Amino acid sequence: MEALSSLIHGFAVLSDPMNILYMFIGIFLGVLIGVLPGLGGANGVAILLPLTFSMSPTSAIIMLSSIYWGALFGGAITSVLFNIPGEPWSVATTFDGYPLAQKGRAGAALTTAFTGSFLGAFVATLLLTFLAPLIAKFALQFGPAEFFAVYLLTFCSFVGMGKESPFKVISSMMLGFALAAVGLDTVTGQLRMTFGTVELLRGFDFLVAVIGLFGVGEILLTMEEGLAFKGKTAKINPKVVLETWAELPRYWVTAVRGAMVGCWMGITPGGATPASFMSYGLAKRFSRNGARFGTGEVEGVLAPETAAHAAGTSALLPMLTLGIPGSPTAAVLLGGLLIWGLQPGPLLFVEQRDFVWGLIASIYMGNIAGLIVVLTTVPLFAAILRIPFSIIAPVIIVICAVGAYTVHNALLDISIMLIFGVLGYVFKKLHYPLAPLVLALVLGDMAESSFRQAMLVSQGSLTIFWSNPLVGSIVTLALVMLSWPVISLFLQKLRSPRKPDAPVVAG
């Protein structure tokens, strides 16, 4: 097989000790960047891009992509430990990861997150190795209407759950949409809801809001409970990794689904963040444990992490083969390629064999190395929870402030973060759900602009959303997802004479 021999060639490129060294440096830096909220994968890679100038393009991309893998791994750490998503795609990881840590199972949550990430990346890399040209063509099918359909699907597979008052769910979600709309409207170039202030020009960033709502809000809640001054009794158990691994195989359906959702979202390119939400939503809906999601289910960590990492990895595919950035990080890497004098695009695979296959080989190696690095640190990170609250709380707030600042280099964002913290605290106490707000904030902007782009293309006709089999089936699937609670009720009625379980698996 041609791909296989190319891959072996790739490993030969990688076997240069310098490249391996760069890989490890990259992973280390990436984990660091992933842990620090705000300094996201895209920012992190952009910041370190100029450092790679004196390297060969192959070494440079190996190091930079390793930073990306590291960041993908690292984002989960603070989500689990402190309820602060280190990266946008680890927001969904907090939903079950943090409750797990609160139950004293931080080690299990971290192990699951890392293992899930690795599985997702592995599946995506296999795809990248053997099906690259085929899939590249598929990505080209995506115009504005298809993009909107994907966002709609993400949304519909996530909403419609929870025990909160539906009016509060709607209020919270609409607040998210409204905040997402502040700033410059990309379609018409008009300013919306800036009220003449300079500071509102940049709008409300998702990460700033999330650091406040989840991270600071959680600290306030912990303070209120008052039992905070002692450290949590997380025991350091070196065998936690093996024990968690023994538990994971029973969630293989969730892992496979997560990997598929991730690959699909990475290629299309919807991105890692929507992928993680979609995968979490689907797992909650179709898993046997679905009802217990949000209270600390291992499966609820596995689903978003697998999808996020699969999406992050497969986002490289359209970047390499078509020059389409599948994610903000991929956009920066794309810029890197140009700076190193390489031209991404269909010919890259032919002209730059060393580069492409060296990169692909480094994805395999980088993820294995990354997994080893992060897994060995699991007991260490779990031990952080034993630090007394009166030491760790101010440190967390400082790190949150740094994170909020680095998103846009804006001082006001730190204050906004704090306000979101108070908001998060009050919302939590009054049972306004935060997840719909966050999802609306992250998807609102993208969904709206792709909808309006589609409207421009079709000159205001909604039929564009059923104009071809691809967009039609995604939109229809989304609507099915939205009405799923009704459908599943109906299915249960049909089946009720027989046994009530047998979960439905959706692709």
Partner 1 sequence: MRKSKQSPLTSTVLAASILAVAGWSTSARAEWKPTKTVEFIVPAGTGGGADQMARMIQGIIQKHNLMAEPLVVINKGGGAGAEGFLDVKGSKGDPNKLIITLSNLFTTPLATGVPFKWTDMTPVAMLALDEFVFWVNAKSPYQSASDYISAIKAGGPNKMKMGGTGSKQEDQIITAAIEQTTGVKMTYVPYKGGGDVAAQLVGQHITSSVNNPIEAVAQWRAGELRPLCVFDTQRLPYKEPIANGKAWSDIPTCKEAGLDIGYLMLRGVFMPPGATQEQVDYYVGVLQKVRETPEWKDFMKTGAFNTSFMTGKQFEDWLKKAEETHRSLMEKAGFVAKS
Partner 2 sequence: MSNPIEPRERTVSVRLMELVVAGMFMAAALLVMTDNWRIGARWADDGPQAGYFPFYVGLIMLIASSVTFVANLMVKEGRPSNFVARSELTRVLQVLVPAAVFVIAIGYLGIYVSAALFIAAFMAWLGRYPAHRIAPVAILVPLALFFMFEVWFLVPLPKGPLESWLGY
Q: Which residues are at the interface with partner 1 (CB under 8 A)?
A: 17-18, 21-22, 25, 29, 42-43, 46-47, 49-55, 63, 139-144, 183-191, 194, 198, 201-203, 318, 322-325, 328, 331-332, 334-335, 338-339, 341, 343-348, 408-410, 449, 453, 456-457, 459
Considering beta carbons, is residue 331 or 414 the nearer one to partner 2?
414
Instruction: Name which of 422, 430, 429 is nearest 167 in CA terms.
Output: 430
* Among partner 2, partner 1, none, residue 484 binds (CB under 5-8 Å by kind): none
CB 81 within 8 A of CB 72: no
Report the Cα 150 to chain-centroid distance in Å.
15
CB 443 within 8 A of CB 155: yes
* Among partner 2, partner 1, none, residue 202 binds (CB under 5-8 Å by kind): partner 1
* Among partner 1, partner 2, none, residue 390 binds (CB under 5-8 Å by kind): partner 2
Beta-bridge partners for 184: 191
* Among partner 1, partner 2, none, residue 422 binds (CB under 5-8 Å by kind): partner 2
* Among partner 2, partner 1, none, residue 448 binds (CB under 5-8 Å by kind): partner 2
Considering beta carbons, is residue 104 or 231 the nearer one to partner 2?
231
- What is d(CA 69, CA 448) in angstroms, rounded to the nearest whole number? 30
Q: Which amino acid is at 272?
A: A
- Sorted by sequence, the CB contacts under 8 Å of residue 158 that are 6+ apart come out as 277, 278, 280, 281, 435, 439
- What is d(CA 504, CA 507) in angstroms, rounded to the nearest whole number? 10
Shortest CB 197 distance to partner 1, Å: 10
- What is d(CA 230, CA 489) in angstroms, rounded to the nearest whole number? 46
User: Between 298-314 and 91-102, two packed helices, what is the crossing angle to 10 degrees?
Assistant: 150
Shortest CB 202 distance to partner 2, Å: 16
Shortest CB 397 distance to partner 1, Å: 24
Shortest CB 87 distance to partner 1, Å: 15
* Among partner 2, partner 1, none, residue 183 binds (CB under 5-8 Å by kind): partner 1
Considering beta carbons, is residue 229 or 252 the nearer one to partner 2?
229
* Among partner 2, partner 1, none, residue 460 binds (CB under 5-8 Å by kind): partner 2
Considering beta carbons, is residue 429 or 495 the nearer one to partner 2?
429
* Among partner 2, partner 1, none, residue 201 binds (CB under 5-8 Å by kind): partner 1
Shortest CB 61 distance to partner 2, Å: 19
Shortest CB 136 distance to partner 2, Å: 30
Considering beta carbons, is residue 369 or 441 the nearer one to partner 2?
441
Is residue 184 within a helix (H) or strand (E), and if so which, with residue range?
Answer: strand 183-184
- What is d(CA 160, CA 483) in angstroms, rounded to the nearest whole number? 8
Considering beta carbons, is residue 205 or 299 the nearer one to partner 2?
205
Backbone phi, psi, residue 241, to 5°: -65, -50
Beta-bridge partners for 231: none
Considering beta carbons, is residue 468 or 473 the nearer one to partner 1?
468
CB 129 within 8 A of CB 360: yes
Q: Which residues bind partner 2 (CB under 8 A)?
A: 32, 39, 44, 47-48, 165, 167-168, 170-171, 174-175, 177-178, 181, 185, 187-188, 190-193, 195, 216, 219-220, 223-226, 229, 388, 390-391, 393-395, 397-399, 401-402, 405-406, 409, 411, 414-415, 418, 421-422, 425-427, 429-430, 432, 448, 451-452, 454-456, 459-460
Backbone phi, psi, residue 134, to 5°: -65, -45
CB 404 within 8 A of CB 208: yes
Considering beta carbons, is residue 188 or 496 the nearer one to partner 1?
188
Considering beta carbons, is residue 3 or 412 the nearer one to partner 2?
412
Shortest CB 26 distance to partner 2, Å: 14
Shortest CB 182 distance to partner 2, Å: 9
Shortest CB 134 distance to partner 1, Å: 15
* Among partner 1, partner 2, none, residue 25 binds (CB under 5-8 Å by kind): partner 1
* Among partner 2, partner 1, none, residue 18 binds (CB under 5-8 Å by kind): partner 1
- What is d(CA 341, CA 12) in angstroms, rounded to the nearest whole number? 23
- What is d(CA 404, CA 426) in angstroms, rounded to the nearest whole number? 20
- Sorted by sequence, the CB contacts under 8 Å of residue 296 that are 6+ apart come out as 96, 99, 100, 102, 103, 105, 109
* Among partner 2, partner 1, none, residue 167 binds (CB under 5-8 Å by kind): partner 2
CB 212 within 8 A of CB 427: no
- What is d(CA 253, CA 90) in angstroms, rounded to the nearest whole number? 21
Shortest CB 143 distance to partner 1, Å: 3
Considering beta carbons, is residue 192 or 292 the nearer one to partner 1?
192
Shortest CB 175 distance to partner 1, Å: 21
Residue 341 token pair: 């004098």
Instruction: Name which of 107, 190, 214, 146 is nearest 446 in CA terms.
Output: 146
The 3-class secondary structure across 126-165, one letter per residue, is: HHHHHHHHHHHHHHCCCCHHHHHHHHHHHHHHHCCCCCCC
* Among partner 1, partner 2, none, residue 334 binds (CB under 5-8 Å by kind): partner 1
